[in-house]
Amino acid sequence: MLRSRLARPGRVLRLLDVVPLPTAAGPGEEALTASVTDMAAMTAACAGVDAVIHLGGIPSEDAWAPILDVNINGTYTVFEAARRAGVPRVVFASSNHAVGFAPAASFPVPDGAAPVPDTYYGVSKAAGEALAALYAHRYGSEAVCVRILSCFERPRNPRMLATWLSPDDAGRLFDACVTAPAPGFRVIYGVSANTRGGWVSLDGARALGYEPLDDAERYAPEVLAAAGTGPDAAWPDPDDPVFRYLGGDFTLPSRDAPIPPASSPERPLPVMTAVPGAGRFAGWSLSACRACSRSPYSFGLARPNPVTVPSACPAPADEPASGDDAASQFHVSAVRRVSRSAIMTGSTVRTGVNTPLLDTLRLTFAHHVRRVVTQRNRPRRSNPVRIPRRQGKIFP
Ligand SMILES: NC(=O)c1ccc[n+]([C@@H]2O[C@H](COP(=O)([O-])OP(=O)(O)OC[C@H]3O[C@@H](n4cnc5c(N)ncnc54)[C@H](O)[C@@H]3O)[C@@H](O)[C@H]2O)c1
């Protein structure tokens, strides 16, 4: 959405994402594939850069573990990589969900209002703003946090008639954020000039030179009709809880994190069978279970592959069943650092404490793991492989 809108003569956009770009890099663009959680890759990506616009991450509510890793640790990594590489400015895509529980009675919510997040996602944005403040005040970075409201091609529901940020206005806003002289640290809002808006301050954005030109009102008839709302119906609907707080449906009980039953026993450890004499083995990454948020410990598996992980955990409805899909990519980045694990040679598993021959492995996981998402081929090694003690939990 922003690529074409931020293109300028003489400006090079270095585009980094954990998945390859949907279209190849064009003139004035450079493409990098890396995770925002990878400090080395991010530091290298920041080399020679004038400003970072940090958009990468999980853009909605999710379980705590991936939010912590990708959004919070990832945002730390971006700020720290920018500092190490000498990038003077970071623009952080925060969200209205950092202040999602701001009540309608408090509208317009002021720039820099104290966080009242409505979800783990909102907490991650508040944490990102705190990191921005840290890097601005401790290290002198310029750090602009944009609490985006609803940035989509067009408004998708009646709430977005107030909260829509048009793609063109988003381009104008982020361009202002990277070009405004000496912004220091600030937390501003990103929204278009919506007739039904006024929910947040635009003073901070305007002070940077942003002037919104679009208005969701031109979509109002079709949006309201699609929602079954007649043209004469009250807006906002006083009985609709979506309008009680800035965060809309993110503030509703439907977003509550599930509480696991206190008495539920840990599931039995999955059992894997190594293949004696297979000779060459691969390291694997597992996705953390999104139903229960637990991350896997690291481990190793024998060929032949694919190996599926027995688990009674049902796939969350919103996640594709398997494959190298985008959802899996999030997990790949989330678990890559723990995927270094046991490597088996022949039917022998060697660890740092010289664990002897095993041909049936019971692999310890934090709780349960739903599926294998990626394979990391490893070169054959003849020497015992050291496994950190905390990771080498392999039992006969
Ligand atoms: N669209 C909105 O209404 C809105 C509102 C508030 C905030 N935001 C924020 O703006 C940013 C962009 O949102 P979007 O709506 O374009 O979502 P999006 O899903 O289209 O973009 C997020 C991108 O981040 C990439 N990504 C995910 N994990 C990554 C990782 N570990 N390393 C590198 N890249 C990774 C994804 O591949 C994806 O391309 C997000 O940070 C989101 O939280 C968006």
pLDDT in the model for residue 263? 59
pLDDT in the model for residue 232? 83
Give 134's pLDDT tier (boundaries 50, 70, 90): very high
Higher local confidence (pLDDT), 43 or 259: 43
Per domain, the residue ranges of the chain are 3-255, 268-396
pLDDT in the model for residue 328? 29
The string of pLDDT tens digits covering residues 150-167 is: 999 999 999 999 999 999
For the chain, give the percent of residues with pLDDT over 90: 61
How far does residue 66's CA lie from ligand 1's centre (Å)? 13
How far does residue 360's CA lie from ligand 1's centre (Å)? 42
- Over residues 276-286, the mean pLDDT reads 30
- Over residues 260-289, the mean pLDDT reads 39
Fold of 3-255: Rossmann fold (3.40.50)
Determine if ligand 1 sits within 6 Å of the CB of residue 35. Answer: yes
Determine if ligand 1 sits within 6 Å of the CB of residue 36. Answer: yes
How far does residue 96's CA lie from ligand 1's centre (Å)? 14
Dihedral, CA of residue 296, residue 297, residue 302 and residue 308, to nearest 10: -10
Determine if ligand 1 sits within 6 Å of the CB of residue 190. Answer: no
Q: Which of 66-75, 192-201, 274-283 has the lowest mean pLDDT?
A: 274-283
Q: Which atom of ligand 1 is nearest to the CA of 94?
A: 7
Determine if ligand 1 sits within 6 Å of the CB of residue 391. Answer: no
- Over residues 274-303, the mean pLDDT reads 33
pLDDT in the model for residue 230? 81
71 pLDDT exceeds 90? yes
Ligand 1, atom 11: nearest CA belongs to which residue?
55
- Over residues 358-375, the mean pLDDT reads 28
pLDDT in the model for residue 231? 76
pLDDT in the model for residue 353? 23
pLDDT in the model for residue 264? 52
Q: Specify the pTM.
A: 0.72
Determine if ligand 1 sits within 6 Å of the CB of residue 57. Answer: yes
- Over residues 25-45, the mean pLDDT reads 95
The string of pLDDT tens digits covering residues 221-269 is: 999 999 988 878 899 998 899 999 999 999 999 888 887 766 555 443 3
